[in-house]
Chains A and B, each alone.
Chain A
């Protein structure tokens, strides 16, 4: 049933195959782009756009965007966001995004694909002149995968601008394209008919009506083609051909009810009421809210009457009357319920969103009379657009409501962080300043030593590498020498010799071990550098953590306050729009249902008279039969 509904909505208002959705890159390098696609593939357009917008803005804000992983998919991402916006019915923004690509410094193929997408937006938004202007700007190389779609779109745009001869010429060349099977032929048929080449056009409609395919959309366009051609033939009183064509429409397709009704009338207009009864009897058993079914309930007993089976006719009229009565009650209840505001509440029931078939299911819910005729209302494009907007607004309302709660949580979290860090940080900062000055001192010392060692490579200075013991010894020897030289009494020769020997030994050790000592000193410096690196890492870690601590609660107040204002203002706008959109939906629903009610009331009167007439005829026939016996 859902497929029926989807095919119906696609086909009633356009004769195009569903546009190809955004496909992911073969080799995905940016996972956040993949995340946006993940949302998009589930039809979660808001999150898909929001994710990709964030990514694109971050990418464009980079100093070196070529180092970002999104760089590899940037064109695809720009297109994807346009596609998502289009799917989210944000045509203005999608148009702007694509125009930005067109005006950017991009390759010819990319530019042409962007113009194609822009033209498609204009066409979908019922702006055929703008669409034509856009499509005429395409020149040069076009990506191979959109060539056929572009030609098909060009033909549709030409048709919308009344240039049927040009459109037919393009469509003629698309007849062998598998992805457009049915659609190209059907549109060619329509283009030729509108170009006053009625016979040729009908041949193509007939051709579309005979296609063999398993594709749901191709089968639906095949049915549509048969219905259009059959209705034309019926209007021209070519009943036999009309019936043949209408009978080709599938019994389970989106156009089957109207085809069955037409097929019955094609037979009835030929006086073949027995043949008319076959489709009408099938139709009369179907979903009673459908307009064609209601008509069949009246038409079938009428046919029985014409076949002189008055008793059966009377029973069927009676059954139709009963059904019409029930439906009228349902319509009254629906109208009343809608006026009481239940309709809008039913539409936003959360549990229904879990089911793709919700529009159909809604009708079957007990105690929701406001939704019995929803499927019929959904068949109108405007109603569907309005309904979709209403549902989108409801989604926005819920998001805004949830975000208010998020901001409350953020504020609480920030307050707790502030409360925790405020008394802690001054003590930590004081301690840190002390350690920091010590560290700087040591680092300066290390640099001095490093510089000295470097100089010693050029000018060796063994004395710099004397050990502390050697220094003390050297100083003590110096003192002894001073005392000996300053004294008045003569110093024994042995003393002087011993002192000289000691100094000589010291000198010997320092100079002979110089190379080894120098190597060791250098090794120690390297060890020190390793420790300094660890210290610097720790230092950086500390500074980063310290910064993060402040950043975890400072500087958010203004952002949160402005976000709160924006959310509140947006919420107010959403509420106003929801009220207006809702009122429009209710008004349209009530107006449409009132019309259906009036029509059904007319049917009821006719059925009542026809039933009485059938009873009379049945009684007369019975009397005549009895008299003849």
Chain B
């Protein structure tokens, strides 16, 4: 009884999910074949996505009126960013509340495109409100105003955030 029981148990310990060699090989081949087809369809869909990106940009955000606002975090900053609110010429343009994953992505050096839209050529007022918690755990809010000058080409604005400041860069 002891050895029979032990035999059964050890067999299970070693091979929890066992299959016959043939079935296993057959199964692997099927998986491989399907996997290759899945990779192909991913390539197709990515190519569609790329074309749609271009179409969307051309149709919705032509370069003479396009403005894009990006959010980044200054390297080494560890404050907790809760939300960013942006107004352009006094009108609310974007409001984003950050998840933990998004915050982590920003801290690692990722850049978030918070807004893409259209504005006329000329000077515009940009107001940024940042809410967060400092490393010490104190709530803070920081509001700053900047001037955006839009000319013929697409306007790209980067707002680089630190615990006590917002740096404005445009290109």
Which A residues are closer than 8 A to B by beta carbons?
23-26, 28, 31, 34-35, 37-43, 46, 49-51, 53-54, 57, 69, 88-93, 231, 258, 261-262, 265, 268-269, 291-292, 295, 298-299, 302, 306, 376-377, 379-380, 382, 385-386, 389, 392-393, 396, 399-400, 403, 406, 410, 413-414, 541, 544-545, 548, 551-552, 556, 559-560, 563, 566-567, 570, 573-574, 577, 580-581, 584, 588, 591-592, 595, 599, 602-603, 606, 610
B94 contacts the other chain (CB 8 A): no
Smallest CB gap from B63: residue in A: A548
Contact A400–B16 (Cβ < 8 Å): no
Smallest CB separation, A231 vs chain B (Å): 8
- Whether, in the assembled complex, B125 has its beta carbon less than 8 Å from a beta carbon of chain A, the answer is no
Inter-subunit contact B48/A570 (CB<8 Å)? yes
Q: Give 1 or 0 for each of B12-31: 1 = CB within 8 Å of chain A CB.
A: 11101111000000011011
Given A291-B12, A567-B48, check contact A31 B156 (CB 8 Å).
yes
Question: Which chain B residues lie closer than 8 Å to A392 at the CB level?
Answer: 38, 42
Q: Which residue of B lies closest to A397 (CB)?
A: B45
Which chain A residues border B10 with CB–CB below 8 Å? 265
Smallest beta-carbon distance A398→chain B, Å:
11
The 6 closest A-B pairs by CB, nearest first: A34-B111, A38-B110, A24-B109, A41-B105, A50-B49, A37-B110
Residues of A within 8 A of B56 (CB): 406, 410
B101 to chain A, nearest CB (A): 5
| Closest residue of B by beta carbon distance from A406 | B52
Task: Give A548 to B50 CA distance when docked, in angstroms.
Answer: 22
Q: Contact check, B111 vs A35: say whether CB atoms are below 8 A apart.
A: yes
A410/B17 contact (C-beta < 8 A), A567-B48, A577-B37, A602-B8 known: no
B-side contacts of A50, CB under 8 Å: 46, 49-50, 53
Binary flags per residue of B44-67, CB closer than 8 Å to A gives 1, else 0: 111011111111101100101100
Please tell me which one of the listed residues A23, A298, A400 contacts residue B5 in the complex, with CB atoms under 8 A apart.
A298
- Asked whether A31 and B158 contact (CB < 8 A) given A261-B9, A379-B16, the answer is yes
- Is there contact, CB below 8 Å, between A382 and B53? no
Bound-state CA distance A137–B63 (Å) is 45
A385 in complex: contacting residue of B1, B31, B58, B112, CB < 8 Å: B31
Q: Assess whether A584 is in contact with B30, with CB atoms less than 8 Å apart.
A: yes
Instruction: Decide: A382 and B39 in contact? CB cutoff 8 A.
Output: no
Q: Nearest residue in A to B41 (C-beta to C-beta)?
A: A573
Report yes or no: B70 in contact with A584, Cβ–Cβ below 8 A: no
Given contacts A38-B112, A551-B62, A559-B55, contact A53 B13 (CB under 8 A): no
> Smallest CB-CB separation from A292: which chain B residue?
B13
What is the CA–CA distance of A382 and B53 in the complex, to the nearest angstrom? Answer: 34
Task: Determine the distance from Cα of A34 to Cα of B75 in the docked complex, in whole angstroms.
Answer: 13
A380 touches B17 (CB 8 A): yes
Whole-angstrom CA separation of A37 from B109 in the bound complex: 8
Question: Do A382 and B28 form a contact, CB below 8 Å, given A410-B55, A556-B59, A563-B55?
Answer: yes
Whether A54 contacts B43 by the Cβ 8 Å rule is no
Is there contact, CB below 8 Å, between B48 and A42?
A: no
Q: Give A406 to B60 CA distance when docked, in angstroms.
A: 12
Please name all residues of chain B whose beta carbon is closer than 8 Å to the beta carbon of A414 when the two chains form the complex: 59
Q: Does B139 lie at the interface of the complex (its beta carbon under 8 Å from any beta carbon of A)?
A: no
Q: Which of A92, A299, A563, A584 contacts B9 (CB 8 A)?
A: A299
Residues of chain B from 118 to 171 with CB closer than 8 A to chain A in the complex: 121, 152, 156, 158, 171
Q: Is the CB of A54 within 8 A of B31?
A: no
Q: By the criterion CB–CB under 8 Å, are B53 and A258 in contact?
A: no
Bound: A577/B45 CA distance, A: 14
C-alpha spacing A70/B17, complex, angstroms:
49
Contact B55 A580 (CB under 8 A): no
Q: Which residues of B contact A291 (CB under 8 A)?
A: 12-13, 16
Compute how far the CA of A268 lies from the CA of B43 in the bound complex, rounded to whole angstroms.
56
If A556-B59, A581-B38, A595-B17 touch, does A566 touch B44 (CB 8 Å cutoff)?
Answer: yes
Q: Indicate if B102 sits at the interface (CB-CB under 8 A).
A: yes
Expressed in whole angstroms, the minimum distance between the Cβ of B5 and any Cβ of chain A is 6
B45 touches A563 (CB 8 A): no
Q: Contacts A88-B42, A389-B34, A389-B35 known; A46 to B156 CB distance under 8 Å?
A: no
B49 touches A385 (CB 8 A): no
Indicate whether A396 sits within 8 Å of B37 (C-beta atoms), given known contacts A37-B110, A544-B152, A548-B62. no
* Chain B residues positioned under 8 Å from A560 (CB to CB): 55
What is the CA–CA distance of A426 and B156 in the complex, to the nearest angstrom?
Answer: 35
For the complex, what is the distance from the CA of A269 to the CA of B52, rounded to whole Å?
A: 67
CA distance A12 to B70 in the complex (A): 41
Contact B45 A570 (CB under 8 A): yes
Which residues of chain A are near B158, meaning CB under 8 Å? 31
Min CB–CB distance A19 → chain B (angstroms): 16
For this complex, 29 residue pairs linking A to B, each with C-beta atoms less than 8 Å apart, are A34-B72, A34-B110, A35-B70, A37-B111, A38-B110, A38-B111, A39-B105, A41-B109, A42-B101, A88-B42, A90-B39, A231-B14, A268-B6, A298-B5, A306-B2, A380-B17, A393-B38, A396-B45, A410-B55, A551-B62, A559-B55, A560-B55, A570-B45, A573-B37, A577-B34, A581-B38, A584-B34, A602-B8, A610-B1
18 further A-B pairs in the complex, CB-CB below 8 A; given A39-B105, A295-B13, A406-B52: A37-B105, A37-B109, A40-B110, A46-B46, A53-B46, A269-B6, A292-B12, A382-B27, A382-B31, A386-B34, A389-B35, A548-B62, A552-B59, A563-B48, A570-B48, A577-B38, A584-B31, A599-B12
B17 A379 Cβ-Cβ under 8 A: yes
Contact A403 B35 (CB under 8 A): no
Complex partner residue of B109 from A28, A570, A588, A603, CB under 8 angstroms:
A28
CB pair B17 A592 closer than 8 Å? yes
Considering the chains assembled together, what is the distance between the CA atoms of A592 and B23 in angstroms?
12
Shortest B1–chain A CB gap in Å is 8
The complex places the Cα of A400 from the Cα of B46 at a distance, in Å, of 11
Chain B residue at smallest Cβ distance from A302: B5
A69-B38 Cα distance, complex, nearest whole Å: 34
| A377 CB contacts on chain B under 8 angstroms | 17
| Cβ B41 vs Cβ A577 within 8 A | yes
Let me know if B108 is at the binding interface, CB within 8 A.
yes
**Cβ contact within 8 Å between B43 and A90:** yes
With both chains docked as a complex, state the minimum distance between the C-beta of A527 and any C-beta of chain B, in angstroms. 24
Given A31-B111, A31-B156, A41-B105, do A91 and B39 touch, yes or no (CB 8 Å)?
Answer: yes
B113 lies within 8 A of chain A by Cβ: yes
Whether a CB of chain A sits under 8 angstroms from the CB of B89 is no
**Which residue of chain B has the shortest Cβ distance to A545 in the bound complex?**
B64
Known: A34-B111, A262-B13. A570 touches B39 (CB 8 A): no
Residue of B with least CB distance to A262: B13
Pairwise interchain contact A393-B41, C-beta atoms closer than 8 A: yes
CB pair A54 B50 closer than 8 Å:
yes
